Amino acid sequence: ARKTHGILFKMKSNTHLSISLLLLATVSLLVQHTTATCGVCGSNGIACISETQFNICFNNQPDNTTAHECPNGGTCTSLLMKCSDAANAPADCTPTTDITCGCAADSPTFVCTSRTTFAQCNGATVVTTGTCPTGLTCAAQRGGDICVDACYLDGEIECDLDAPAS
């Protein structure tokens, strides 16, 4: 009877250890964090384009034709759960405090005024404004076309605003 008791104790200990390791592995998967970049497809099949919006990825390329909104005000992340409560996971795309959107005294000819709009400047004066075609992102500072497919931006959004500041 004593030998049976020892075997049962050992089995019970192994079961507790297995359950603990399984829980730890599950939690690790849920909170895994990859190096996330705005506009770049993550291992979860989406590319965050703002704190709350994302594009679905096909063949590791974001489909820029439709921006999807995280439900219930969720935060877009590269985590397995895609959209999370902001308290649980940081957003992959956070607006930076040094964003320069719009015309200023030393502005180049064209500047972005949001992710999809731009302005022609004469110093700090707006000469005219425009909107990028559907699916394209403003990239006035990179040279060449003012509006480009986001895959050419390497996650570097010039003006990470939903709409121009009023």
* 3-state DSSP assignment of residue 3: helix
* Check whether domain 33-94 has CATH 3.30.420, yes or no: no
DSSP single-letter state for residue 67:
P
Write out pLDDT tens, residues 130-160: 999 999 999 998 888 999 998 888 778 888 8
Q: How many CB atoms lie within 10 A of CB 74?
A: 19
**Domain ranges within the chain, ordered by starting residue:** 1-30, 33-94, 95-166
User: pLDDT tens string for the chain (166 positions)?
Assistant: 556 555 655 556 555 545 544 433 333 434 444 455 677 788 899 988 778 888 888 998 877 777 788 888 788 888 887 888 766 777 777 655 444 688 887 788 999 999 999 999 988 889 999 999 999 999 998 888 999 998 888 778 888 888 887 6
Q: Output the pTM of the full model.
A: 0.45
58 phi and psi angles, rounded to 5 deg: -130, 130
Look at the block and give the residue holding tokens 């770049």.
Answer: 40
Q: What is the DSSP code string of 93-145?
A: S---TT---S--TT--SEEESSSSEEEEEETTEEEEEEEPPTT-EE-GGGSS-
Amino acid present at 7: I
